[in-house]
Amino acid sequence: MPDVPELRERAAELDAADELAKLREQFVLDEVVYLDGNSLGALPVGVPGRVDDVVRRQWGELRIRSWEESGWWTAPERIGDRIAPLVGAAPGQIVVGDSTSVNVFKALVGAVRLVGDGRDGRSGRNEILVDATTFPTDGYIAASAARLTGCELRPLEPAEVPGAVGPRTAAVLLNHVDYRTGRLHDLPSLTSAIHDAGALAVWDLCHSAGALPVGLDEHGVDLAVGCTYKYLNGGPGSPAYLYVRGDLQDRFDSPLPGWNSHADPFGMSPSYAPAPGALRGRVGTPDILSMLALEAALEVWEDVSIDAVRAKSLALTDFFLECVAAYVTGGRVESITPSAHAERGSQVALRCPDAGEVMKRLIERGVVGDFRHPDVLRFGFTPLYVGFGDVERAARVLGETLG
């Protein structure tokens, strides 16, 4: 395997010039090169102390008083407003809670109900389009939502959407970034095509929020969901979020009308009256421990520009691909991540025949990525704590492992 000291020198120069490099000290990290933040983000240093306070003081001492005195009750919308600028949304449109799967269900059924309420001449739509390459759960949920709403489900590639969406389409569920390949789909143009056909766009942002600009408001996205344990570093199983565009909120009819989304939750009325605004996306009692851990994790984002994050993400992935080309024997791996910046998320996926075994050996040598069946090595680049030295080392170890 060739030795390329110039790459190590350039990595050091890039790290020295990196305006985001100082953020690394806000995470609990060791000497491992951690390139799996697209599955589980690293632990921010402020989270353990916050969780300790929530458990010992807020729960242990204040107990039930914390619903008001510690702000537990308003946490879902308060934390939603902290996520909002990271996905290009104005305040009051995001509520945090439940899992991504539950929020996909709420969003998709809610979208079908929105177009089926007889307004704007859009009633009679009985078709849901879903990304055929989506993470499996989205497909499962879409199939259930179709059965529940009496719709036909049509899986298709995102590129096929403009030619497939039509007068029967109620809603289209798409992933912003493909979880296997890291391909970034064109949210603005696809949303526009969906709207031109009179349907509603539902976007899954799990692999883009916190890694690149999304522009929900700018591009008129109707509904969106996302997790918080990847690039937002909220911790394992941290609650997801639901975005409902402001002008749709008064008509959004959640299929899970829990007491927490009632206009008068403590009135204990036998009949349901939805709360105004994004609050109607709530369901049951908020999961306070994980939610407040997420709130502490989001403090890392104070004064961080998502555009700067995107610029570093592209620089990291470009440099990784360059290092792989230098260190890995030709033909041993093949990148299935698009080379064009406009089509790339914040990960690089390499096809490798013995990928599962290779990843085990990489982890043993201190380079942590992950493996996707049957033959994909997946490396995620979280710009808040991954540096160019990490990138060079990962590619060098990959070359040694394969060599």
Catalytic residue among 204, 222, 287, 370: 204
As a 3-state breakdown, the chain gives helix, strand, coil percent values, each rounded to 5, of: 45, 15, 40
Cα distance between residue 294 and residue 65, in whole Å = 21
Catalytic residue among 135, 243, 319, 327: 135
Q: Tell me 344's DSSP state.
A: B
Catalytic residue among 27, 34, 229, 231: 229
* Cβ pair 185, 177 in contact under 8 A: yes
Encoded amino acid at 354, one letter: D
Q: For this structure, is 204 an active site residue?
A: yes
Q: HSE (CB half, 13 Å, CA atoms) of 58?
A: 18
Catalytic residue among 183, 378, 393, 396: 378
- DSSP letters along 10-28, please? HHHHHHHH-TTGGGGGGEE
Catalytic residue among 230, 245, 280, 396: 230
Cα distance between residue 202 and residue 128, in whole Å = 11
Length of the chain, please?
403
Nearest Cα residue to 306 out of 379, 216, 182: 216
Q: For this structure, is 22 an active site residue?
A: no
Q: For this structure, is 230 an active site residue?
A: yes
Catalytic residues: 135, 204, 229-230, 378
